[in-house]
Structure 1
Amino acid sequence: MINIGCSIVTPSKEVKAKDKKMTQFVRYIWAGSLGLTSVGIAMYFFNKWVVSLNDNNLKGRLFRAEFIVFIQGVLGCVSYFVWRNVANIFSIKKPSHRNPESGCRFRSDTGARIWKLVIAAYFCLAHGCYLCNVFLVQTHPHMYSIVSYFMLGFHVQMATGLVLVTILNFFIKLVSDQTLRHRAAVMMAVFYAVTISMYGFYNTRKLPTVNNVKIPVKDLPQNLEGLTITHLSDIHLGPVNGRREMVQIVKMVNDIQSDVVVIVGDLIDGGLNELRKAASPIKKIKSKYGTFFVTGNHEYYALEVDEWFSYLKSVGVTVLHNSNFHLPKNAPSSQQICVVGTDDLEASRIHYKDHGFHLDKAMEGCREGQPVLLLSHQPKAAQMAFTSEHRIDVVLSGHTHGGQMFPLVIGAYLANPYYVGLYPHGPNSHVYVSQGTNFWGIPMRTFTSREIAVITLTKKV
């Protein structure tokens, strides 16, 4: 008989501590995944119920509440990630005065407490930015709105910086046994966040870039050869853009002296009473054939679309509400193009009154053989228009902002069939997607710029 001896090895305290940390980490992941899944399911059914409501005022309040819950949930995850990595970099370990024999325990000195207070303050500003949309929409942006939304952008950049230094550490570890010390890595992330945030803010203070684009159009009437269209989108009058920005834009538009001016959605982020004075410079826009407007998704978030329609008509803007306009107005049909405007896709999703993306209705009256210029806020609408049976020669859109800033540019690129600039479609059609004349919310632009596009139509040979 052969006896086989066995010995029991007791795990060291260090191994046990690592196992405990790993267990806690897995629990965090499991709890977070379960929580997000539950919230996602709840919000899906909540959204379905809200959409079915007929009271648009109630619907608007519930949509805003839903958005706040969603954005606070996302920001909560970002804040947890940032706090865990950043909060304790200046903390020190000191012996306990109560029980010196117990070894060292965690203590924060005055500098570390101030550091944590600074982080907590900027967290509060970032989380509270959406309150500006409720209480601080006015003619001129309130300083708190600008600071609060700036901190939201800084928050995004801080999290991005931490991810980037984590990736850097991963590659350093591939080629050596050492990695960046935690405090050094965090300070690199802070430097990145401060630098990119200030650069992005500087870009929003600059005037829009004027981009000249030529688009060939099949069967373009000879009298419209060289027709110029000033293309505006995503002006976003609201908590961080006001009358000053509108005056600048109108001056630039009038200096261009184009034949047509189009505003392709997201003009406002608030109600008519709050933004009437901010929007009033629109009445001073000058062009040969007039100014045209279609809705964007943010007009439907404000839920005063009909009131804005009435106001814009009163200041001389032609509102295209699933309708069209023959240009020039009094010319024979053989010498006209059909300018078509559709409501934004969001109107269909939230069932806003009789609004919606109704291309068939919008095309009624466009004569056979006429070139068609479609104004529609979202590039996805352009994709839908091209798959329809209608002739569509040129689509002017906006909405994407070019992603506005890194890393959101990645999501904007992946989420939209057309991202930024001019795209051909088939042998005779084109889409132009503007980066936006202003910006939404966060006063930062990186790898993008404010834009006024001047579209010149030429006859395709």
Structure 2
Amino acid sequence: MSVGEAVETEPRRRRPGRAIRFALTLAVVLLLLFGVPWWTLIWAPDLARVAGTVVFAVAVAAFPALMVAGHGSRHRDGPAVVADTMLGVVWVLFVWSLLGQLLGLVLRLAGVDDPARSRVVAAAVAVVALVLLVWGYAEARRVPRVRRVEVVLPRLGRGLDGLRLVLLTDTHYGPIDRARWSRRVTEVVNTLDADLVAHTGDIADGEVAQRREQAAPLADIRASLGRVYVTGNHEYFSGAQRWVEHMAALGWEALHNRHVVVARGGDSLVVAGVDDRTAAGSGVPGHHADHAAALEGADPSLPVLLLAHQPAQIAGAVRHGVDLQISGHTHGGQMWPFHYLVRLDQPVLQGLSRHSERTQLYTSRGTGFWGPPFRIFAPSEITLLTLRAGRAE
């Protein structure tokens, strides 16, 4: 076992003082997230400023409790919806309040004095934030557009040339009921004449019993060669093994550190999957990312398609000679400019990328959304990957 794999397969030890550092960090983040919009928007004097301050104070005090109630072990949907919406709104206000401060500086240099300057800044921030939130909500709730990508795999046999692989990921069935959305996604997938359909994790936020209706349309997805699935990090907050078993009950191959072989026209393709890289630290027995186990017994002359939830798992794919890894997790950032923070943790944000002479990675922006019901400059996607045999350019 390599050093890199040891990081993924061994539980992490808890360090003393971690909870205190987390609490302090959370307090600073909340003060900034709510404080910058308060400073920018609550410019009116006297009673109006007091009232606005009270609103922001109540919001910042209530937010952690709502998040714990909504996303804790009980997964209470009402508090989750309120907390998630608050998070999305305050993020947009925070970002555009920072940019509003730059506008205020320009106006100051132009000789515009208060209160006119503050009024202009507050109005501009409020209008831009409102437009982005309305548009972002519509983008999050819509059925994703189909993104079509061709991927050349030099080791792919001619009999598999043109294989149509549909990628779903990060559906995040959650506190906002999206059963109808889920059915419409299935309808779109079934128009694509897929050979393979893959789901690379983060099916839901909540237990199977809570999200059964939203996940049910997955059973109706059609694929001539198979439907395959691996866990994402969010399964490990809400019954990962139960989701593995439920996907199997819906007719999907749960690639829990294992592989299957699909064939067409006399040629074969190894389709493997590994657990999410957070699985080892989750405490769920038998769950950890294990590339060696996933490929054990596979013919080394065959091309390998690997399902792994996070792009950060690409290092293991490179070490094990995988031809194409497909992933999700990043959501493309979901709400601009959060993608800059995502890039601190992940090697790729979205799209097709090459990581060795053999290994390529496709990262989806995700089919659904997590938490805040907004997508801003990061549209969702249903991905149709057409695999081509032949030499890469």
Equivalence for 2:182: 246
Equivalence for 2:246: 311
The answer to whether structure 1 residue 337 and structure 2 residue 269 are counterparts is yes
Q: Pick one of 439, 443, 447 that aligns with 2:373.
A: 443
1:145-184 mapped onto 2 (5 Å cutoff): 145-171=80-106, 176=110, 181-184=117-120
CA gap of 1:427–1:86, structure 2 versus 1, over 3 A, is same
Q: Give CA-to-partner distance per residue, 1:216-271, whole Å, 9 cap, x none.
A: 11221222111111100000011135322221211111121201100001011111
Structure-2 separation of matches of 1:70 and 1:268: 27
The answer to whether structure 1 residue 320 and structure 2 residue 255 are counterparts is yes
The answer to whether structure 1 residue 74 and structure 2 residue 29 are counterparts is yes
CA gap of 1:383–1:411, structure 2 versus 1, over 3 A, is same
Structure-2 separation of matches of 1:68 and 1:371: 47
Q: Secondary structure at the match of 1:258?
A: coil
Q: Pick one of 307, 313, 316 that aligns with 1:375.
A: 307
The answer to whether structure 1 residue 359 and structure 2 residue 359 are counterparts is no
> If you compute each CA radius of gyration, which structure gives the higher value, 1 or 2?
1
Q: Pick one of 381, 386, 389 that aligns with 1:456.
A: 386
Structure-2 separation of matches of 1:242 and 1:224: 35
CA contact (8 A) 1:126 1:155 kept: no
Structure-1 separation of matches of 2:272 and 2:32: 43
Equivalence for 1:22: none
The answer to whether structure 1 residue 288 and structure 2 residue 224 are counterparts is yes
1:363-442 mapped onto 2 (5 Å cutoff): 363-386=295-318, 388=319, 390-442=320-372
CA gap of 1:415–1:279, structure 2 versus 1, over 3 A, is same
CA contact (8 A) 1:133 1:239 kept: no
Q: Pick one of 280, 304, 327 that aligns with 1:348.
A: 280
The answer to whether structure 1 residue 91 and structure 2 residue 52 are counterparts is no
The answer to whether structure 1 residue 235 and structure 2 residue 171 are counterparts is yes
Amino acid at match of 1:342: V
C-alpha deviation, 1:396, in angstroms: 0.3
C-alpha deviation, 1:197, in angstroms: 1.3
Amino acid at match of 1:277: E
Q: How many residues align?
A: 376
The answer to whether structure 1 residue 190 and structure 2 residue 126 are counterparts is yes
C-alpha deviation, 1:172, in angstroms: 5.2
Structure-1 separation of matches of 2:353 and 2:388: 16
Q: Secondary structure at the match of 1:345?
A: coil
The answer to whether structure 1 residue 202 and structure 2 residue 168 are counterparts is no
CA gap of 1:194–1:121, structure 2 versus 1, over 3 A, is farther
Structure number with greater CO (CA < 8 Å, separation at least 6) is 2
Equivalence for 1:216: 152
Q: Secondary structure at the match of 2:360?
A: strand
Q: Give CA-to-partner distance per residue, 1:427-456, whole Å, 9 cap, x none.
A: 343211000000101011111111000111
CA contact (8 A) 1:125 1:152 kept: no
Q: Secondary structure at the match of 1:256?
A: coil
1:258-297 mapped onto 2 (5 Å cutoff): 258-297=194-233
Amino acid at match of 1:312: M
Structure 2: segments with no counterpart, 5+ residues: 1-11
TM superposition score normalised by structure 2: 0.86
Amino acid at match of 1:207: V
C-alpha deviation, 1:275, in angstroms: 1.5
Structure-2 separation of matches of 1:160 and 1:442: 15
C-alpha deviation, 1:356, in angstroms: 1.0
Equivalence for 1:102: none
CA gap of 1:116–1:76, structure 2 versus 1, over 3 A, is closer
C-alpha deviation, 1:280, in angstroms: 1.6
Equivalence for 2:8: none
C-alpha deviation, 1:402, in angstroms: 0.5
Q: Which one is further off, 247-256 or 186-195?
A: 186-195
C-alpha deviation, 1:159, in angstroms: 1.2
CA contact (8 A) 2:34 2:56 kept: no
C-alpha deviation, 1:77, in angstroms: 3.6
CA contact (8 A) 1:324 1:365 kept: no
CA contact (8 A) 2:40 2:101 kept: no
C-alpha deviation, 1:383, in angstroms: 3.0
Q: Give CA-to-partner distance per residue, 1:87-136, whole Å, 9 cap, x none.
A: 4x2224xxxxxxxxxxxxxxx2xx55654565456556755245333598
Q: Secondary structure at the match of 1:155?
A: helix
Of all paired residues, the percent bearing the same amino acid is: 28
TM superposition score normalised by structure 1: 0.74
Q: Which one is further off, 214-223 or 336-345?
A: 214-223
Q: Give CA-to-partner distance per residue, 1:57-108, whole Å, 9 cap, x none.
A: xxxxx99x99899656632442233334434x2224xxxxxxxxxxxxxxx2
Aligned-pair RMSD on alpha carbons?
3.0
Structure-2 separation of matches of 1:453 and 1:200: 20
CA contact (8 A) 1:405 1:445 kept: yes
C-alpha deviation, 1:187, in angstroms: 2.6
Equivalence for 1:49: 14
Structure-1 separation of matches of 2:361 and 2:199: 16
Q: Secondary structure at the match of 1:214?
A: strand
Structure-2 separation of matches of 1:315 and 1:126: 37
Q: Pick one of 166, 173, 192 that aligns with 1:256.
A: 192
